[in-house]
């Protein structure tokens, strides 16, 4: 079996492997209600990154980031958060290290909503500094999975929600031993579809979760994971053919 986790390589092996692509999973440590573990966002994003890299050539998955920007979730235990500026700098410096060692194709798989802005800033900074690199971000897998699956896959709120139907389903598919559906509770906030109201999570639900986690199933989770990994594998192969640039019509 080929190695894909960077931490398992040694100096000789990494040189022999001729790695040109790195995947970075960014997650969080925070409450996801009474039914999901604190590390849910990292477990999911890291698993997707590993499954994707396993189907690619010359790809490695670097150790994931277990802390994200979670201050808007800290009313529930056990949130451990970085500030937005700190996370931006950490992501930027991880990418700087990869570029230093000659890895010029980077895919970030994000698992947490609070990380999106920081990752975007870090990625933009890197692309401006190193215009020759290929750099891509899956910033919201929970939205992408819903876009790729049939519209009738989910029962409530298109599967959305923090610890909701979709996230709980993919958790059942990846780490079922850490899911306690007997404690699954969520609420669905009435949110404007066009204007973003900035919130702290306690404003959206009385629980540590939103959406309808009780509607989750392992089958839905397997479908979510499959379409995400298939799409990312196809994306990376397509980018390799295109030089990690948009195709021109």
Return the domain boundaries, the chain.
6-10+20-242
Measured CA angle at 213 (ends 44, 178), to 5 deg: 50
Residue 44, classed as helix, strand or coil, is: helix
CA distances, 211 to each of 86, 114, 149, 205, 208 (Å): 30, 17, 18, 9, 11
CA atoms of 233 and 228, how far apart (whole Å): 9
Ranges of H-type helices in 107-217: 116-129, 141-148, 165-174
Query: What is this structure's pTM?
Result: 0.97
Each of the 249 residues of the chain gets a pLDDT tens digit; together they read 789 999 999 999 999 999 999 999 999 999 999 999 999 999 999 999 999 999 999 999 999 999 999 999 999 999 999 999 999 999 999 999 999 999 999 999 999 999 999 999 999 999 999 999 999 999 999 999 999 999 999 999 999 999 999 999 999 999 999 999 999 999 999 999 999 999 999 999 999 999 999 999 999 999 999 999 999 999 999 999 999 999 887
DSSP character at residue 215: G
Determine whether domain 6-10+20-242 maps to CATH 3.40.50.10310: yes
Both tokens of 62, joined, read 């670097």
Give the model's pLDDT for residue 1.
77
């Amino acid at each position: 079996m080929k190695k894909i986790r960077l931490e398992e390589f040694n100096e000789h092996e990494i040189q022999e492997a001729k790695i040109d692509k790195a995947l970075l999973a960014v997650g969080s440590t925070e409450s996801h209600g009474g039914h999901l573990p604190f590390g849910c966002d990292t477990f999911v994003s890291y698993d997707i990154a590993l499954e994707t890299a396993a189907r690619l050539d010359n790809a490695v998955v670097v150790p994931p980031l277990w802390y994200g920007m979670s201050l808007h979730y800290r009313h529930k235990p056990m949130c451990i958060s970085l500030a937005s500026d700190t996370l931006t700098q950490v992501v930027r410096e991880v990418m700087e290290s990869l570029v230093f060692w000659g890895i010029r194709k980077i895919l970030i798989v994000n698992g947490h909503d609070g990380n999106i802005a920081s990752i975007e800033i870090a990625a933009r900074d890197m692309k401006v500094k190193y215009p020759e690199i290929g750099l891509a971000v899956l910033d919201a897998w929970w939205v992408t999975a819903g876009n790729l699956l049939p519209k009738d896959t989910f029962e409530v709120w298109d599967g959305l929600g923090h610890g909701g139907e979709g996230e709980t389903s993919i958790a059942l598919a990846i780490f079922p031993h850490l899911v306690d559906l007997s404690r699954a509770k969520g609420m669905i906030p009435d949110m404007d579809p066009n204007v973003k109201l900035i919130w702290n999570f306690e404003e959206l639900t009385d629980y540590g979760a939103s959406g309808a986690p009780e509607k989750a199933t392992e089958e839905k989770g397997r479908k979510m994971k499959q379409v995400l990994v298939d799409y990312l594998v196809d994306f990376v192969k397509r980018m390799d053919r295109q030089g990690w640039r948009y195709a021109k019509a």
